[in-house]
Structure 1
């Protein structure tokens, strides 16, 4: 299978976020990430895409902070931010 999917990850203080949920639709993933980025203790939520079963296809799509989409090139908050 090589269908493209969209994974949502969250960042929390002192924690590296793992994939929370995977969507087949980019817009559903974006809506979920925007909403999730407003949750208590969540610093940001991001969406990446990849093709199932195909290594090297993962790419960043977008990320959100407090429900607002951020510049994809901007440093993310948390332990990997600057």
Structure 2
């Protein structure tokens, strides 16, 4: 049977960071991401669930800004997720 793991990564003004840390429990991952999202220059912190060793099992769990959990449909922060409309030519 495959083990469920939870990865946490952060978004900064100039970078979407790689996975920082892995947890075996969703509770621990959420707690870390919530706290990490309050750090200097961190725009958001996200939790993603995976089944260890199985492709195609990535599933977003939660994301936080300033310690507050965000809606899954909310606009993501940072330059890698532009929110301004591009003017038509």
Unaligned runs of 5+ in 2: 84-89
CA shift at 1:79, angstroms? 2.2
Equivalent runs, 1:27-46 vs 2, <5 Å: 27-46=27-46
Provide the C-alpha distance between the structure 2 equivalents of 1:70 and 1:80, rounded to a whole number of angstroms: 18
Aligned residues, how many? 82
CA shift at 1:80, angstroms? 2.7
Provide the C-alpha distance between the structure 1 equivalents of 2:36 and 2:78, rounded to a whole number of angstroms: 16
TM-score, length of structure 2 as denominator length: 0.88
Match of 1:70 in 2: 70
Match of 2:20 in 1: 20
CA shift at 1:75, angstroms? 1.6
Unaligned runs of 5+ in 1: none
TM-score, length of structure 1 as denominator length: 0.95
| Structure number, greater radius of gyration | 2
Provide the C-alpha distance between the structure 1 equivalents of 2:73 and 2:44, rounded to a whole number of angstroms: 14
Match of 2:52 in 1: 52
Match of 2:9 in 1: 9
Provide the C-alpha distance between the structure 1 equivalents of 2:79 and 2:54, rounded to a whole number of angstroms: 29
